[in-house]
Every structure is written in structure tokens, then in C-alpha cells.
Amino acid sequence: MAKLQWTKGLEVGVDDIDNDHRITIDQLNKLSKTLDDHDFITLFLAFADHLRSHFALEEGLMTKHLFFAIDCHTDEHKRVLDEIDGILKQLEAGDTGTARNYVDVEFPEWFMVHRATMDTVTARFLAQAIA
């Protein structure tokens, strides 16, 4: 089970993004601890909603400040949301195993790379654009 823990070292320097990332990690950890399938599905639905909201926030900031790599970043968000939608269909069919693996392994690995690359570059750009 891959657990993430929020630290100052994970901050990208944009408060709204950092706050959402804290929530993301908190939700992942709650999902990882949840043994009951019904509770897991409920929490996964909230996690999916949070990701949609978070990605919309980032995309709104990128659009507002004319971020040069917006297409690349939004394409990655779309790819992840497509994965989430596929997992939601599997949950509807009664398969929680795929979603549990996604929460425990796949998403945390993706999140750490995405935060260190795309989100960090975006945050640096936004810091200069806003200043």
C-alpha cells in the first residue's frame, strides 16, 4: 500500500493548488484504509469529484494567465479523468480491486511525478505571471 504524506516539500507555491493537493493526499489515505466496499465506493466518488474540481481550478489558472504548455497539461488531466471514469464503471459492475490498486499504487505514483513536473512548471509560471 503506497501511502503519501503531506510535507512542505510537496508544495508547489500556489496556495489553491497546494490546498487541493493536501486534500488529494488525505482522500487517498482514507481510501487506502477503507476496508468496507460500500464506504470505499462512496469515498472514491468524492475523490473523483475532487479531482475534476482540482483539474478545473488548475486549468482555469492556466487559461487566465496564458500558460504556454496548457495543452500538454490539460491533456494529461483528461487522460487521468478518463482512467477515473473507467474505474467508476468497474465499481458500478462490482469490481473494487482495480480501484483499490489505482488508489494504492497507480495514482500515488502518477501524482508524485505530475506534481514534480507539470504542476511545478505551471506553478513557477503562475508565480511570475501573477507577480
Is 80 exceeded by the pLDDT of residue 131?
no
In a domain, 116, yes or no: yes
Q: How far is CA 117 from CA 6, 40, 45, 75, 123, in A?
A: 17, 30, 27, 14, 10
pLDDT at position 2, please? 53
Nearest residue to 113 (alpha-carbon basis) of 7, 10, 8 = 10
Chain-centroid distance, C-alpha 13: 17
In a domain, 90, yes or no: yes
In a domain, 93, yes or no: yes
The pTM assigned to this predicted structure is 0.94
Is 60 exceeded by the pLDDT of residue 49?
yes
The string of pLDDT tens digits covering residues 23-43 is 999 999 999 999 999 999 999
Q: Taking the alpha carbons of 50, 17, 79, 74 in that order, is the dihedral positive or negative?
A: positive
Question: What's the number of domains the chain is made of?
Answer: 1
Report the CATH number that the domain containing residue 115 is assigned in CATH. Answer: 1.20.120.50
In a domain, 5, yes or no: no
The string of pLDDT tens digits covering residues 75-130 is 999 999 999 999 999 999 999 999 999 999 999 999 999 999 999 999 999 999 98
In a domain, 33, yes or no: yes
pLDDT at position 1, please? 45
Where do we find the cell 513557477?
A: 124
| Cell numbers linked to 19 | 490546498
